[in-house]
């Protein structure tokens, strides 16, 4: 059986080595600036780091993809164009882009560089995907996390480029690349500055026995004593609806689509992506090893192993997310 | 206890050896606190210098940060550690509430074993936070920057310190391999000791660890 490609995150060189050693087929990463959507303090790769990462990965038959997936600021294209140039120069296997201007630049300047369309482009229909293919030669599209498996199957039946879907990790329930919640609360967004809920605007404080998380001065959750916590994003905030505090958009939970491997294979998905460039290398080693084991078993037609990843997931809970969302 | 499925390195100390290392860390913090800023300060400087030499990428990054003070508080140890990042990078052992004369910008609190695992990248910090085993206060960006910087290293505190111990460094893998057996022997010796000696051993351990009598 033709195997899925396993695409794994890395926020630093040690995490990349962990991902490669645990069985990644490709590792995606970003530079240490606002050109990627995980622009967090202390995270990411210098140019020198990338050169070392490519050497380490290629020596082991693993590909490296560079995410340059934020939207350039008007009048300041330099950092984004330099990122694409350096990724090509340092022999990255693909760049993951969202902005049409940057896609045009990369296609023109680096015709041999493989272009993947980032989830940040939120391309979720046939016409949009065909446009990216025809205009820029995009070879793969990372689908937004809002599609059901039947929708993905219908999409793949009508397009002739590869699709990649997130199967594990943090959930983004919004139309990615278009969400302004973080920007509303902090003035900074994943789309422009590469930060959703920037740590500089996050505070945790005890309130009685509860733990309050605040973002830009807004209280977005109160975790009771012993209750599992989640990321401080507005989409996973707990707000008063009437008199009742409730998760209005999404609960603190992690995506895990392992049980859907047969359906995703039938839907002709080419690559499976693990979220979490911001996570520690221990998370990456554990999750990649677990998924590698599962994919190897699946490729051999064996029963999928039970994966114990409860210890690393947000909110202590897992979901198949939009893939099986019945209300849609 | 190490999380199932999260251990990174098969050469890492096993659970019992790790328990010894955690206890040694707690006792080391207690002793450094008792020695005061003079001897304790020199010990902390030595630890920082060895780690800096072994992990230049991370410690250069810490020196490049704006100056800030971060309290690292192992809640089951008799003392905490104050890390000053920035060009004047420094490490000091201090009271668990932080030193009176320094404004602390952020604090991380958790069990000593967890903080040690976090320092060495053997466990995921976000997962600890989700499970409420880690408490963070103050400047979240500072804590994240430190966590991400250290996670980029393959750090092993005891192995790194052992490299500075000359020929004794060869003893560490041996000690880790046989920690369980040594602990068993110590336990047998303790049980076999006459009560006054046994009580003396317990009291000595408490004094070294800085824990109050009867706790």
Which pLDDT belongs to residue A19? 98
Residues A149 and A26: their CA atoms lie apart, in Å, by: 23
Which of A30, A41, A198, A278 has the highest number of chain B CBs within 10 A, making it the mutation to test binding with B?
Answer: A41
* pLDDT tens readout for residues B128-149: 888 899 999 999 999 999 999 9
In chain A, the domains with their CATH numbers are 5-171+253-324 (3.20.20.70), 181-247 (no CATH)
- Residue B211, pLDDT > 80, answer no
Which among A282, A290, A315 is the nearest to B8, CB-wise? A282
* Contact state of A15 with B151 under an 8 Å Cβ cutoff: yes
What is the residue-wise DSSP string for B79-94? -EEEEEESTT-EEEEE
Residues 6 or more apart whose CB falls under 8 angstroms from that of B126 comprise: A231, A278, A279, A280, A283, A312, A314
Pick the closest to residue B182 from B2, B14, B8, B1 (CA basis): B14
Which pLDDT belongs to residue B6? 41
Q: Which tokens sit at A274?
A: 């693990």
In angstroms, the separation between the Cα of residue B2 and the nearest Cα of chain A is 11
Which of B125, B126, B154 has the highest number of chain A CBs within 10 A, making it the mutation to test binding with A?
Answer: B126
Q: Which tokens sit at B188?
A: 């047998």
Helix (H, G, I), strand (E, B) or coil at A176: coil
Which among A15, A229, A282 is the nearest to B129, CB-wise? A229
Q: Which tokens sit at A54?
A: 């490519």
Let me know the angle formed at the C-alpha of A274 by A174 and A144, rounded to the nearest 5 degrees: 30
Residues B68 and B122: their CA atoms lie apart, in Å, by: 26
* Contact state of A311 with B5 under an 8 Å Cβ cutoff: yes
Q: Which tokens sit at B185?
A: 């022997």
**Helix/strand/coil (H, E, C) string of B194-207?**
CHHHHHHHHHHHHH
Whether the Cβ atoms of residue A294 and residue B18 lie closer than 8 Å to each other: no
Provide the angle, in degrees to the nearest 10, between the axes of the packed helices B56-64 and B140-151. 160
Pick the closest to residue A232 from B130, B117, B4, B204 (CA basis): B130
Pick the closest to residue A87 from A141, A166, A28, A10 (CA basis): A28
Measured between beta carbons, the chain B residues lying within 8 angstroms of A311 are 3-6, 127, 131
Distances (CA, A) of B60 to A53, A92, B49, B149: 19, 26, 12, 10
Which pLDDT belongs to residue B213? 37
Measured between beta carbons, the chain A residues lying within 8 angstroms of B129 are 229
The pair phi, psi for residue B129, each rounded to 5°, is -65, -45
In angstroms, the separation between the Cα of residue B17 and the nearest Cα of chain A is 20
Residue with tokens 């590698």: A292
Q: Is A8 annotated as a binding residue?
A: no
Q: Which tokens sit at B215?
A: 């706790």
Residues A218 and A181: their CA atoms lie apart, in Å, by: 12
How many contacts, defined by CB atoms under 8 Å, are there between A and B?
118
Domain boundaries, chain B: 15-209
Whether the Cβ atoms of residue A111 and residue A82 lie closer than 8 Å to each other: no
Q: How many CB atoms lie within 10 A of CB A244?
A: 8
Interface predicted TM-score (ipTM): 0.88
* Contact state of B126 with A11 under an 8 Å Cβ cutoff: no
Residues A255 and A144: their CA atoms lie apart, in Å, by: 13
Which of B62, B110, B124, B125 has the highest number of chain A CBs within 10 A, making it the mutation to test binding with A?
Answer: B124
Instruction: Check if B147 contacts A (Cβ < 8 Å).
Output: yes
Which among B137, B142, B153 is the nearest to A204, CB-wise? B137
* pLDDT tens readout for residues B162-199: 887 776 666 666 667 666 676 677 777 777 777 777 77
Which pLDDT belongs to residue A160? 95
Measured between beta carbons, the chain A residues lying within 8 angstroms of B123 are 280, 282
What is the residue-wise DSSP string for A15-29? HHHHHHHHT-SEEEE
What is the largest distance, in Å, between two alpha-carbon atoms of chain B?
Answer: 56
Q: How many CB atoms lie within 10 A of CB A101?
A: 13
* pLDDT tens readout for residues B4-31: 334 434 445 677 788 888 988 999 999 9
**Confidence band, pLDDT 50/70/90 cuts, at residue B207:** low
Q: Kindly give the parts of chain A with pLDDT less than 50.
A: 328
The pair phi, psi for residue A293, each rounded to 5°, is -60, -45
Residues A33 and A30: their CA atoms lie apart, in Å, by: 8
* CA dihedral of residues B125, B130, B134, B135 (deg, nearest 10): 120
In angstroms, the separation between the Cα of residue B52 and the nearest Cα of chain A is 17
Q: How many CB atoms lie within 10 A of CB A171?
A: 26
- pLDDT over 90 percentage in chain B: 45
Q: Is A172 annotated as a binding residue?
A: yes
Which pLDDT belongs to residue A177? 85
Which pLDDT belongs to residue B1? 34
Distances (CA, A) of B102 to A254, B82, B143: 39, 10, 17
Which pLDDT belongs to residue A1? 53
In angstroms, the separation between the Cα of residue B72 and the nearest Cα of chain A is 16
CATH homologous superfamily of B15-209 equals SCP2 sterol-binding domain (3.30.1050.10)
Which of B1, B4, B6, B118 has the highest number of chain A CBs within 10 A, making it the mutation to test binding with A?
Answer: B6
**Confidence band, pLDDT 50/70/90 cuts, at residue B53:** very high
Residues 6 or more apart whose CB falls under 8 angstroms from that of A221 comprise: A212, A213, A229, A230, A232, A236, A237, A238
Pick the closest to residue B95 from B27, B26, B28, B30 (CA basis): B30
* Contact state of B140 with A282 under an 8 Å Cβ cutoff: no
Q: Is A235 annotated as a binding residue?
A: yes
In angstroms, the separation between the Cα of residue A80 and the nearest Cα of chain B is 23
Which pLDDT belongs to residue B204? 64
Residues B18 and B113: their CA atoms lie apart, in Å, by: 8
Whether the Cβ atoms of residue B132 and residue B12 lie closer than 8 Å to each other: no
């Amino acid at each position: 059986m033709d195997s899925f490609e396993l695409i794994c995150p890395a926020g630093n060189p040690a995490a990349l080595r962990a991902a490669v050693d645990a069985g990644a087929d490709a590792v995606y990463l970003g530079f240490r600036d606002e050109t990627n959507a995980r622009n967090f303090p202390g995270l990411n790769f210098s140019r020198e780091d990338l050169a070392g990462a490519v050497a380490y990965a290629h020596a082991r038959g693993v590909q490296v993809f560079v995410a340059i997936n934020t939207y350039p600021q008007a009048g300041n294209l330099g950092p984004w164009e330099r990122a694409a140039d350096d990724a090509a120069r340092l022999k990255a296997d693909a760049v993951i882009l969202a902005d049409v201007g940057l896609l045009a630049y990369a296609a023109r300047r680096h015709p041999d560089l493989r272009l993947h369309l980032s989830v940040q482009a939120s391309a979720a229909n046939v016409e949009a995907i065909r446009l990216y293919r025809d205009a820029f030669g995009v070879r793969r599209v990372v689908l937004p996390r809002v599609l059901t498996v039947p929708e993905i199957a219908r999409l793949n039946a009508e397009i002739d480029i590869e699709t990649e879907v997130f199967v594990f990790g943090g959930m983004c329930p919004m139309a990615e690349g278009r969400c302004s919640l973080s920007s509303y609360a902090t003035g900074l967004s994943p789309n422009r500055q590469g930060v959703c809920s920037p740590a500089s605007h996050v505070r945790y404080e005890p309130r009685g026995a509860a733990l309050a998380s605040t973002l830009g001065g807004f209280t977005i959750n109160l975790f009771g004593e012993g209750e599992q916590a989640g990321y401080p994003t507005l989409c996973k905030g707990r707000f008063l609806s009437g008199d009742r505090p409730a998760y209005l958009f999404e609960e603190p939970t992690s995506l895990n689509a392992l049980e859907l491997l047969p359906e995703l294979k039938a839907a002709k998905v080419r690559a499976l992506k693990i979220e979490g460039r911001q996570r520690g290398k221990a998370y990456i080693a554990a999750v990649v090893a677990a998924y590698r084991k599962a994919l190897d078993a699946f490729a051999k037609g064996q029963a999928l192993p039970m994966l114990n990843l409860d210890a690393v997931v947000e909110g202590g809970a897992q979901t198949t997310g939009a893939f099986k969302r019945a209300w849609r | 206890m190490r999380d199932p499925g999260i251990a990174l390195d098969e050469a890492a100390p096993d659970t019992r050896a790790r328990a010894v290392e955690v206890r040694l860390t707690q006792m080391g913090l207690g002793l450094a606190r008792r020695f005061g800023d003079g001897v304790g300060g020199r010990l902390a400087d030595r630890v920082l210098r060895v780690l800096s030499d072994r992990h230049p990428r991370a410690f250069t990054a810490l020196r490049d940060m704006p100056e800030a003070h971060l309290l690292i508080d192992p809640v089951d140890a008799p003392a905490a550690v104050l890390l000053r990042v920035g060009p004047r990078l420094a490490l000091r052992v201090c009271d668990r509430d932080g030193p009176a004369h320094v404004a602390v910008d952020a604090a991380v609190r958790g069990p000593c074993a967890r903080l040690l695992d976090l320092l060495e990248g053997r466990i995921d910090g976000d997962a600890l936070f989700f499970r409420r085993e880690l408490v963070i206060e103050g400047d979240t960006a500072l804590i994240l920057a430190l966590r991400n910087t250290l996670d980029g290293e393959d750090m092993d505190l005891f192995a790194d310190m052992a490299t500075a111990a000359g020929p004794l460094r060869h003893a560490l893998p041996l000690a880790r391999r046989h920690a369980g057996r040594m602990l068993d022997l110590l336990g047998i010796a303790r049980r076999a000791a006459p009560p006054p000696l046994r009580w003396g051993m317990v009291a000595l351990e408490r004094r070294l660890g800085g824990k109050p009598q009867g706790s």
